[in-house]
Chains A and B, each alone.
Chain A
C-alpha cells in the first residue's frame, strides 16, 4: 500500500488559480540536488509545472506572451521541503497558525512543510487529517502535508490507525517530540507500519537518561550549573530503534541526530542496507552549546546543542550524505515559556524563515557545497517522502525559489513572520535573501 495519497502531494493553496500564462525565470544560476550546481540558465513554468529549464530558457526563446522575471544572476532552486515544523493548528493558535507559519516559510523559501502531529488534538484520527488539509488549502501560502501519529494520543501504548490515516492523506507517521519508550510497542508499530509501507519518523531519545538535564552534558553545563544530557541518551535509543528496524523491515527516519555516536549507528545501518534515513536540524549544524552564552533560552533545544566538535562532525556527515536531510525544527514558543530561568524554559526555536540563510553560512565557510545544502533541503526530503517536487526537472511541480546567497542583512526578529520570535539568530549577521517563492508557479512570496 503506497503512502502517497494523491490529493495531499499535489495540493495547491486554493486562494489562487493555477497560472496559465507561461512564466519564465531567466538569467539565473540553477542549483538543485541532482543536476545543477550553479550553471547559468532559467526555468519555464506553464500550468504550475516546469516545462523547460537550462541555458536555453532565455528571453530569445520564450513564447511571446510569457511573463519574464530577470533573476540578475541570483540562484534559482527548488523550493525547500521541511520535514519537521510545528504549525500550531489545531490547538496552539496562540503560538502559530498555518497562515503565519506558511508566511514565514514562503519568506524563507520553504514551499512544502511536513507538519508535526503533536497538536491538540493530535493528528491521530482521520478527521484531524481532513481538518489540516482543509485549513492548509484555505489559509496556507505553501504546501502543508500532514504527518500523523504513530501511537494513539501520542501515548506510546497503542498503534494509531495507520491505514486509515494514510488513506485520509497522511504522508508519514511520528509521535512528534515524544519517543516511544516501550520497545515492544515500537516493534509492533514498526511491523504494522511496514505492512502499509508507511514511513516511520521517530524522535530517538531515552527520557530516563535525559532526566533533569537541560543542555548538553559537559564542561560548559557544569560551569553554568545546569543539568546535563549525555549523548548516550540519543544513541542508546537510536541503537535500539535500528535493531527493531532490522527485525521488522519498516522504513525508518531518525527525526534528529545530533551526536557522533548516532552517526556511527546510522552509518552501520546504511552499510547493512537497512531502510534508514536521518535528519539534523539547521540549529545543530550552525550552532553549538557555547552559543547558549549567559543562559540564552532561545538556544535551549531538544536534543540540546552539542560541543563544537560534534557540530563539525555533523556538517561533514551532511556533506558526505550520511545525514540525508536538514530540517528547520521550527518550534514557536512565546515569551511566557521562554522568558524564564533556563531550566524552566521550554525547548525550541523557530526556523522556517531563516533556515536557508543559516545554511548558507556553511557554504560561505567552505564546509559544504551549495548543491549539497540545497539537495539536503529539497531532493532528499522529496525522495524520502516520495514527492514529485523538490527537483529542477521537466514535469516537476513549479515550486521554485530565487535567492541571492551573498546578500547580507542583520536579523530583526520583529520583522519575522512567525507569531513567535524565539530565533537563535537574534540580531545575528546573516547572508542570503530569498527574493521570490513560487508554489505550483504561483507567487507565495515576493520581496518588496
Chain B
C-alpha cells in the first residue's frame, strides 16, 4: 500500500476542514483509507511513507482518543511522533497560540495536528507555519477527520453515501462533528437531517441544506443512518435543556426510537458516549451499532490523510 498515490494528487497543503474539499478529494481519501485498513489488520502494521518525518500532535484541548488515533496513524506510517498537550488556562488567547506555532515551526516539523477550543484557531496557526496542518477539531467549527471516518464507516456498510438519509441527533449547536458531517454528506449527495430540541439547534440550518426536526419520531422516520452526538455535561448544567432525564426521554436513542428508522438503519456515535443520556446501552451495544467500527476507521482515515498530505512534503 501507500506508494505515492499515482492517479490522484491531493491538491491541498493542509486539511483544515471539509469545506473546500471536492467530492473527488473526499472519495480519494476514502479509497486511500480502505488500503490503510488492510495495513492495520496485518501483524506488521508499518509502512515507510513517513519514515524520517516529524509529526507533532499539538492539542490545546484534551483528547485521549483523537490524539492517540493520530499518534498511531503517524507511527504506522513510520513517522517520529511527538505529543504536546498545552494547558490553555494560563494562556492568553491568540498570542501564545501564534508564539507556540512559530516556536514549533523553528523545529521544522513536517506535519502538525492541532486541536483547539476556539473556532478558527487552527486556521490562524496554519498561516504561521511552513509545514502541513491537520485540524483535529477547532471549537464548534470543524473536525474533518471525524467526518471522513464516519463516511468511511457508512460507505463500507451501505456501499454508498449518495441518496442515503442520515439523521444527526443531539447538540448540533456546539458540535464540530455535526458541522463537518453536514458538509461532507451533503457534498456526496446524502440527505441530511438535524434532530434535536430547538435550544440545541443553530440558526440557518435549513439554508445549509439540512432538514430540521424537533422530535425523534418524525426525525428518524425512514432514516438509513442515525448519528448520535454526545450531550456534554456543560450543556446539561448550562440551561439549554431541563435535565438528563427529560433529554433521554425525548431525544435519547433507545430501542423504541430506533424503531422509527429503517429496519436496517445503522447507529453511529463519535464517542465518548454518555450511556443513558443520549443513547441507551442496549442500542449502543446492539446489532445495528457501528460505534466500535468507527474507532477502527478513525486510525485508517488518519493514516490516509497523513499519507495524502505527505505528497506535498519536500522530497515527498
Contact = CB atoms under 8 A, between A and B. Distances in A.
Interface of A: 1, 152, 157-164, 185, 188, 191-192, 194-195, 248
Interface of B: 197-199, 214-215, 239-243, 245-246, 249-250
Contacts of B245: 161, 164
Contact of A188 (B214, B239, B249): B239
Interface centre among B198, B215, B249, B250 (most CB of A within 10 A): B198
Contacts of A185: 239
20 contacts: A152-B242, A157-B239, A158-B239, A159-B241, A159-B242, A160-B242, A161-B242, A161-B243, A161-B245, A161-B246, A163-B242, A163-B249, A164-B242, A164-B246, A192-B199, A192-B241, A195-B198, A195-B214, A195-B215, A248-B198
- Say what secondary structure dominates the interface of chain A: helix
Interface centre among B239, B242, B243, B246 (most CB of A within 10 A): B242
Nearest to A195: B214
A191 B242 contact: no
Contacts of A191: 197-199
Nearest to B247: A163
B240 A188 contact: yes
A163 B250 contact: yes
B239 A163 contact: no
A445 to B, nearest CB: 39
Contacts of A163: 242, 246, 249-250
B163 to A, nearest CB: 29
A194 B198 CA distance: 8
Q: Which 10 A-B pairs have the closest CB atoms?
A: A191-B198, A161-B246, A161-B242, A195-B214, A159-B242, A163-B250, A188-B199, A158-B239, A164-B246, A195-B198
Contacts of B215: 1, 195
A158 B198 contact: no
Contacts of B243: 161
A161 B250 CA distance: 11
A158 B199 contact: no
Contacts of B246: 161-164
A185 B250 CA distance: 21
B200 to A, nearest CB: 10
B247 to A, nearest CB: 9
Nearest to B214: A195
A162 B239 contact: no
A194 B241 CA distance: 13
A192 B198 contact: yes
Given A163-B242, A195-B198, 13 more contacts: A1-B215, A158-B239, A159-B199, A159-B241, A160-B242, A161-B245, A163-B250, A164-B242, A164-B245, A188-B240, A192-B197, A192-B242, A194-B198
Nearest to A167: B249
A207 to B, nearest CB: 20
B198 A162 contact: no
Nearest to B243: A161
Contacts of A157: 239
A160 B241 CA distance: 8
A158 B237 CA distance: 8
A442 to B, nearest CB: 36
A265 to B, nearest CB: 24
A195 B195 CA distance: 11
A161 B246 CA distance: 6
Contacts of B197: 191-192, 195
B288 to A, nearest CB: 25
A185 B239 CA distance: 8
Contacts of B250: 163
Nearest to A247: B203
Given A157-B239, A159-B241, A192-B199, A164 B214 contact: no
Given A163-B249, A191-B198, A192-B197, A158 B214 contact: no
A248 B197 CA distance: 12
Contacts of B239: 157-159, 185, 188
Contacts of A161: 242-243, 245-246
B165 to A, nearest CB: 21
A129 B241 CA distance: 20
Nearest to A249: B198
Contacts of B240: 159, 188
